[in-house]
Amino acid sequence: MRKVHTLVVGGGPGGLSAATALAQAGREVLLIEKNPAIGPKLCAGYLPFDADARRMEIPAPVIEKIHRERIFHFGERRLQINDEPRITFSRIELGQAMLHQAKGAGVVVETGRRLRGWRGREARVDDEAIEFSYLIGADGSNSTVRRGLDLPVRSFCVAFQVALPEARPAVECFFDYPRYACWPAWLIPHRDHVVVGLGGDPRYLPLTKMKSELRELIRRLGHSPEKYPLSGSRLATDYPGHVFGNIFLVGDAAGLVEDWSGYGIYAAWASGREAAQAILGLTTRFPLIASVLAAKRRQRRLIQAMTRSPAVGRAVLGLMPAALRVLPWARRWLRSSPYSEA
């Protein structure tokens, strides 16, 4: 039977950051990924380039552009602001860069392999038994590791998006209450296309309405929605904890996606890094995860207020243009208004 110090399930930013940190400390790490390649995932490819993102040390070649301007649409109103920098990037290139770093540190990476279950410290990976000391579940919102811990996903958001063949100079956010409920639609410019999407909690923004509103936005942008099929993704938003003895959940598997913004890449990276530090005995506290959870609580309070009362929803969006103009903290609070991980 093969033996490893840590078995990491999932080759996204969370799994790769944890695996790399452990391997750099001399631990024997096996990372398995169910898909045939590392990197491809439905993603808007957008991050606020703040202190959090800089901790990730994203390689310069992965960054397509640094944006300092955003355009907000509130129904028929349009507001253009100079803002803190944000970056657009290729999700595939980010994954490949992190993979290169992980392999360089000594991580053994095996793609096209699935965790079938585990008992005690013995995992079944396809037909192979693997003994581990630690198990990290970084396998997304439909996490096999989370299910094995009997932790069902009780709340989630859904996002749909499409790539359109056109060029735009700035990131754009579209608010239209009650059409989109309290969530924004987004337009993210890339090298040779723009990503247009809409996400939210299906309890308040039903999936059929979400898709029909996104198709209508595509039409308003001058494209035929029939030519561009929508791609969708479910994002777990309930957090059940992240440490369970010798088993850790990170990123989407732990429900660390922000409820309103959908921001998840940094949370995945940070939780993976802190899981590795805990395994190495370097910390018993998780300050980066605590910061992510604080943002989730703020956004959840906003969602609850806006969905509970239409009057509150209209009032919040009515005040938002003025707040964005004059209050720097409001822009930071809304730092990732497009669904960055969708």
Residue with tokens 């790769």: 16
Mean pLDDT of all residues in 300-308: 86
Q: Which residue has the higher pLDDT, 13 or 316?
A: 13
Mean pLDDT of all residues in 194-205: 94
* Nearest alpha-carbon partner for 23 in 128, 99, 123: 99
SS (H, E, C) 178-222: CCCCCCCEEEEECCCCEEEEEEECCCCCCHHHHHHHHHHHHHHCC
| Separation of alpha carbons 61 and 24, rounded Å | 23
Tens digits of residue pLDDT in 89-146: 988 999 999 999 999 999 999 999 999 999 999 999 999 999 999 999 999 999 999 9
Mean pLDDT of all residues in 8-19: 97
Tens digits of residue pLDDT in 152-184: 999 999 999 999 999 898 999 999 888 898 899
Give CA separation, 66 vs 63, 188, 193, 198, 240, in Å.
Answer: 8, 12, 16, 23, 35
**Using an 8 Å Cβ cutoff, are 133 and 6 in contact?**
yes
Residue 230 DSSP class: -
pLDDT bin (cut points 50, 70, 90) of residue 218 is very high
Provide the percentage of residues in the chain whose pLDDT is more than 70.
94
Domains and their CATH numbers in the chain: 2-333 (3.50.50.60)
Provide the percentage of residues in the chain whose pLDDT is more than 90.
63
CB neighbours (10 Å) of residue 147? 15
Distance of CA 292 to the CA centre of its chain: 12
pLDDT bin (cut points 50, 70, 90) of residue 260 is confident
- Computed over every residue of the chain, the mean pLDDT equals 90
> Which pLDDT does position 77 carry in this prediction?
85
| Separation of alpha carbons 136 and 14, rounded Å | 9
In 59-138, at which residue ranges do the beta strands (DSSP E only) sit? 63-74, 77-89, 108-111, 115-119, 122-125, 128-137
What backbone phi and psi angles, to 5 degrees, belong to 222? 95, 20
**Using an 8 Å Cβ cutoff, are 40 and 78 in contact?**
no
The residue count of the chain comes to 342
| Separation of alpha carbons 244 and 242, rounded Å | 7
